[in-house]
A and B are shown apart, each in its own frame.
Chain A
Amino acid sequence: GQQLNQSPQSMFIQEGEDVSMNCTSSSIFNTWLWYKQDPGEGPVLLIALYKAGELTSNGRLTAQFGITRKDSFLNISASIPSDVGIYFCAGQGVKTSYDKVIFGPGTSLSVIP
């Protein structure tokens, strides 16, 4: 079945540093979504990408839909302590019967003040 891989698995960075994480798949996707999840809470949507090559920003966050449609990256600039959490990529594939969205295993981000 379709699977998403995320890297790195975890990151420890200094406050103020920029962060980059990515998501890859062996299958092509129609939509890429990036979510952030705080402990004990549901995932919160950060950015949605709908076209290959699309580059979208949301404040300090920037995400891109890869040209091959098999990958996406998320960048966070000038990290702050509240950026701590788990970041999930999610994709909706072209061959799914319905509009099932599948998730990667997540990248855990820790920000050291």
Chain B
Amino acid sequence: DTGVSQDPRHKITKRGQNVTFRCDPISEHNRLYWYRQTLGQGPEFLTYFQNEAQLEKSRLLSDRFSAERPKGSFSTLEIQRTEQGDSAMYLCASSFISGNTIYFGEGSWLTVV
């Protein structure tokens, strides 16, 4: 399968714990995006990488959130000291530099209890 893959697909964690999600983009894609989606809403942009450089961060990305893409391939999104409001699906997507079309992974569901 050469699509965008995300791991884990589901995570249940206690409030205050840290969680980390991993995304492996389509191998030829230089750009990688993180979005968050809550029930009944469309995906909301969080941050975006071009190769290893993080080029934009949304105001939704509080100080507790950090994303990395150290070698320009896979990316991680870490949430520290999780809160119940962090419960959502975290979506990763990727695209070519020249393309406006982004392809999504299947998402990682986070439930904070």
Contact = CB atoms under 8 A, between A and B. Distances in A.
Chain B's interface: helix, strand, loop or mixed, by majority? strand
Given A48-B100, A99-B31, A43 B43 contact: yes
Interface residues of A, number: 26
Interface in B90-113: 91, 93, 95, 100-107, 109
B107 A48 contact: no
B92 to A, nearest CB: 8
Contacts, number: 63
Nearest to A104: B42
A101 B55 contact: no
A100 B91 contact: no
B36 to A, nearest CB: 11
A4 B105 CA distance: 22
Contact of B100 (A42, A99, A106): A99
A44 B93 CA distance: 11
6 contacts: A40-B109, A42-B4, A42-B107, A45-B101, A101-B45, A106-B40
Interface of B: 4, 6, 31, 33, 35, 40-45, 48, 50, 55-56, 91, 93, 95, 100-107, 109
